[in-house]
Amino acid sequence: MTVDRVIQTGLNNLGKPYLFNALPFQNTVFDCSSFIQYIFYVNGITLPRNSRQQFRVGKKVGLNNIQKGDLLFFTTIKRTKRKGIEKIGHIAIYLGNNKLLHTFRQGKKVKITQLSGYWKKRLVGAKRIF
């Protein structure tokens, strides 16, 4: 299993709709953590269901050392004042070149966005699974 296969699985799901609390291990609708869980699961790696649980796996990576395939963890407006792992409310996979592959918020779909502005300000951690 390679980083490229996991990313390609994610790219194959571009445009799929967002649904908060989407069921795991299916690819009809996703929330941020079910999307990450699915693209790894299809490629032989089982991750926990939510972003805070997913933060507990893998090797910690410094925010200045992120690489393609790393999982990036973000706080959200509702979680900004919380402490530790409870601060985490969103996850994405890093594509390299300051690009994220993820899904977020009702009405949105799986998409590629820039790691800048809104997302850069809320980045709180990174993990390497590979």
DSSP secondary-structure letter at 69?
A: T
| 113 token code pair | 């966005």
Decide: helix, strand or coil at residue 75.
strand
**Confidence (pLDDT) at 130:** 86
* Residues with catalytic roles: 32, 90, 102
**Confidence (pLDDT) at 1:** 62
| 44 token code pair | 């032989």
Nearest CA among 78, 66, 71 for reference residue 105 = 78
Could you report the average pLDDT of every consecutive run of 10 residues in the chain (130 residues)? 94 98 97 98 97 98 97 96 95 98 95 97 96
The structure's pTM equals 0.96
- Provide the terminal-to-terminal Cα distance of the chain, rounded to the nearest Å: 9
Structural domains for the chain: 3-128 (3.90.1720.10)
Q: Is 21 left (phi over 0), alpha (psi -120 to 50) or beta?
A: left
